Structure 1
Amino acid sequence: VKYMEKLFHPLGVIVNEKSFRRYEGDGIRKVTSIRNVGTTELMELAGLRGVAMHGNSKSAHTRLAITTPHDVARRGEMAVSCMQQIATLLAKQAWKCGR
């Protein structure tokens, strides 16, 4: 979750309200909060992002070696669901601002 905070907070997407306060100011303001996005989905997004970014590392290969294709597909679905929920929240906020 800490990694996701570092990824989303500078964009104005609040993962954790308390830690977001460190980012406010200097052009960063709240756009939306993802408090209703499932933690499991958020963790899968972070995990798959880590595997993708560190794919050549031994730990990533070890992790993937014990994962079945069904598990990979399910984890991918959860990660995509997380991004879809975040994109929907951002789109709703953009729509409000454009009116």
Structure 2
Amino acid sequence: MSQTPQDPQRPAPDEGAPTPAELARAREGRVRRAPRYRRFVQVGVLLGALVGVLLVLLGPDVPTELGRGPVTVFVGLTGSLVGALAGAVVAVVADRRSTR
């Protein structure tokens, strides 16, 4: 099979372009800007962990048998869980508002 070379002056036909009949049937649409849930949850985890660690480090010194390190880790992990939940709630609220 031989292919005919295309004329360099004439542009190649665009196979993905709609036909005039398809354009006549087209309707105007709305773009829905849905939030990215993973990013909201990730930011919530980071902010929650940061707030938890700062609460322990800047708060009053609580005497424990374990020391300050394990308490910091525990409160940081708890803060990250709460932050993930808060980020997910914010994403759901943003998603509901985008459908209006």
TM-score for both structures, normalised by structure 1: 0.31
TM-score for both structures, normalised by structure 2: 0.31
Of the two, which has the highest radius of gyration?
A: 2
Bigger relative contact order, structure 1 or 2 (CA pairs below 8 A, ≥6 apart): 2
**Which is helix-richer, 1 or 2?**
1
